[in-house]
Structures are given as structure tokens and as C-alpha cells.
Amino acid sequence: MQLHKNKALKRLDSKFSHLDSKVSTVEAKLDDNSKMVKNLIALLQRRLKEVARETAALR
């Protein structure tokens, strides 16, 4: 009986470790995507300011 419990606990531990690894991977990808979006927003804001300046200079 104890042997079955140990095997079951080892399997659960293995599954939890696997899930933890997957969650870490997803978090890393999410962090990378968040950084990319922030950079794109900053780039867009700079470009909008440039266009506004160029448009104002034409007037």
C-alpha cells in the first residue's frame, strides 16, 4: 500500500514539475511580448511626434 502511495506521489510530483516548467516558459514569453509591445508603443509615439512636427513645419 505504501509503495503505491509513493509511486502516486512521484507521478504527481513529476506532473507538477512539468507544469511548473511550462508556466515558466509561458511567463517568459509573456514578458518578452510585453517588452516588445512597450517598445512598439514608444516607437509609434516618437513617430507621431515627428509627423506632427513635420506637418507643423509645412504650415
| Amino acid (1-letter code) at residue 32 | D
Q: How far is CA 28 from CA 1, 23, 34, 40, 41, in A?
A: 41, 9, 10, 18, 20
pLDDT above 90 (res 30): yes
CA angle 11, 18, 29 (to 5 degrees): 170
* pTM exceeding 0.85: no
Task: Give the C-alpha separation, 48 to 2, whole Å.
Answer: 68
pLDDT above 90 (res 3): no
C-alpha cell at 39: 517598445
18 or 1: whose pLDDT is higher?
18
